[in-house]
Amino acid sequence: MQLTAVLTPAEEGGFVALNPETGTTSQGETVAEAIANLKQATELYLQEFPLASTGHPLVTVFTVAEPADALVASP
């Protein structure tokens, strides 16, 4: 079964990994570690809550304007 992994940089370093089909999340210091941890978490989740295959989600990006106060550098 192929599932989706969405990775974002974590504030404290490393990466946060999310599987949108199940809602499982994990983290790791590297992309490979984050995906391996997400795979393990998702496999455990699926043992308890089997998932019917509905196809893959469409993953894309979009841009929004930053609030004016976010553009000011912090001291």
Residue whose pair of structure tokens reads 């893959």 in the numeric block: 56
Does 33 or 51 have the greater pLDDT score?
33
pLDDT for residue 72 is more than 90:
no
Pairwise CA distance, residues 7 & 16, whole Å: 6
For the residues 12-26, what does the mean pLDDT come to? 96
pTM attached to this predicted model: 0.77
- The residue among 67, 4, 72 whose CA lies nearest residue 35 is 4
CATH number, position 15 = 3.30.160
Q: Is residue 16 part of a domain?
A: yes
42 within a domain of the structure (yes/no): yes
- Domain residue limits at 38: 6-71
**What's the mean pLDDT in 65-69?**
83
User: From the CB of residue 26, how many other CB atoms can be counted at a distance below 10 Å?
Assistant: 20
The domain tally of the chain equals 1
In a domain, 1, yes or no: no
Tokens at residue 48, please?
A: 């308890």
